[in-house]
Chain A
Amino acid sequence: NAGVMQNPRHLVRRRGQEARLRCSPMKGHSHVYWYRQLPEEGLKFMVYLQKENIIDESGMPKERFSAEFPKEGPSILRIQQVVRGDSAAYFCASSPSLGGQETQYFGPGTRLLVL
Chain B
Amino acid sequence: RKEVEQDPGPFNVPEGATVAFNCTYSNSASQSFFWYRQDCRKEPKLLMSVYSSGNEDGRFTAQLNRASQYISLLIRDSKLSDSATYLCVVNRESNSGYALNFGKGTSLLVTP
Contacts and interface: CB of A to CB of B under 8 A. Distances in A.
Mostly, the A contact residues are strand
A80 interface: no
Interface in A65-115: 89, 91, 95, 101-109, 111
A48 B100 CA distance: 10
Contact of A108 (B32, B43, B92, B103): B43
A3 to B, nearest CB: 9
Instruction: Indicate the size class of the contact surface on chain B.
Output: 20 to 34
Interface residues of A, number: 26
A77 B32 CA distance: 26
Given A45-B101, A55-B97, 18 more contacts: A35-B102, A41-B104, A42-B87, A42-B104, A43-B100, A48-B97, A56-B99, A58-B94, A91-B43, A101-B31, A101-B98, A103-B46, A103-B49, A105-B46, A106-B43, A106-B44, A106-B45, A108-B43
